[in-house]
Chains A and B, each alone.
Chain A
Amino acid sequence: MLQIRSVAADDPVDSDVSKPVAEMETQPVIELDDIQKVYHTGEVDVHAVRGVSLKVMPGEFVAVMGASGSGKSTLMNTLGCLDRPTQGRYLLDGIDVSRLDRDELADIRNQKIGFVFQGFNLLSRTSAIENVELPMFYTHRKISGHEQRERALKALDLVGLAARADHHPNQLSGGQQQRVAIARALVNEPALLLADEPTGNLDSQTSIEIMGVFQKLNDQGMTVVMVTHELDIAQYTKRTIVMRDGKVLTDTPVTNRLKAEVELEKLRDAQKSVQLS
């Protein structure tokens, strides 16, 4: 919370900061009310999501799981304001976004949501810091070049990559690229961090490191929702939602929650013992 707030403190215009803490705790970040999504492909209507209602409160860390075709990707696209639901209401940080037009959705994505993708989706041949600055380029409020750089550097610092600000994606490892992507997602101080299989392209140790970054951000107050199909990755979150056939099958708090620091320590010990033997 502290570090994210410190980024936000430099930015008095941002609405989140001015909100009283009590109100923030009572108002859900995500409130879905009977969300349905139907794709009209040819003659058959595909019901990808058939009636999902759920609430995500600030500071939650949610894993959405499910087999392919369960509707979790469609749900993520809806949550990410990349797509509009066919039916139902979606309140994001108190704003009804279910009926906004394309341009308004773009602004919501810019201000309220930070995306982290499986394939990192960084602009190649563009330095890490310029990638992080990208969302601010599309912010309507004028942000000076100096402020952009400062905020981007802070976001990179938050994910531990400030030293590599001028490296290009092809000079960074997969884990480092994903950290840059997370920094990019954080730079506009969103209400919600959405991650779509963020560890899908990473080896197990790097995956745990990235989960550590998410846990750290969540500890600081960031609301995180991620899609994953790996059970052990879901163990790092606080709440697991399992979907099947476009509906929520189970919605349970995570017991035996894993801590990334502890798991990394275990991994290092294991590696040491292998080397010793």
Chain B
Amino acid sequence: MLIYLVRRILWAILVVFVVLFITFLVFFKLPNGDPALRFAGKTPTPAMLDEIHHRLHLDKPWYIEFGYFVKTFATGDQYGWPGLGYSYNSFASVKSQIVYRAPRTLWLIAGAATLWLTFGVAIGVLSAVKRRTLVDRLAMGFALFGISAPVFWLGLIALYIFWRTLHWTAGTGYTPIAQGPGQWFSHMILPWVVLSMLYTAIYARMTRNNLLETLGEDYIRTARAKGLSERRVIFRHGLRASLTPIVTLFGLDVALLVGGAIITESVFNLQGLGWMAINSATQQDLPIVLGVVLCTATAVAFMNLVVDIVYAFLDPRVRYS
């Protein structure tokens, strides 16, 4: 088990490294603007630009610069370890930016994931158990809506109704939980619901289909033949087998949102990691982009590992092979 873990972690590190490398490559090989121009002010002289290029490490071939990036990362810089440098725009250290933005994104993910897992699975089970009834059709109709409705549209509609019209919630922006849990909640509830909508729909459909498939298995007939109650047949025998694939999906979905909840973070002006990444990308702010990519890639690699371990825990057939 320990050897397995070490091997998996080493692989994960390699994957993160490769992802960073590709991001680096994209920045250097597809330039659409010189970061030094922003630095230099209104009337840059060639000498100034050269000096800035040198300072930002943009004057050497990309492989040397990547080597420098790796070296700073490993040995640390003036902001400590790991050395991620500073933003070309705000001169703030990348690390401090990430530490400042991360709670917004993590709270967003935590709330939304709780919602979509709870409601997605519940709706899916209900739909499967009440198959071909009105309940099923309504639930699947909702799922279709959730899958089709674009997040930016949903977000704006939700803001219009619950903030502008009904005044039930706070508007856009973010209040840290330490400054008032009520305010925090009031700011987060709409993003949670809007972000979870699509996932709830997908999870409801998946749960329904998996459960229906499982309920057709021979071991479900055995469970009924034993004389178990229908409730036990569905929840203990049916759900157990149909939820395992959902665990895999859940881990990856959560990880991808670390840098990927871009639209939700923008519509609700939460200014989390995804928002920061997309802003920095348009401003050629490589260190920030690399920082967010590092977070997302690490989250994906880590969740992959967690999912595999949880899966082995849930399915003995995996555990023993």
A, B in one complex? no
B residues lining the A interface (CB < 8 Å):
none
A residues lining the B interface (CB < 8 Å):
none
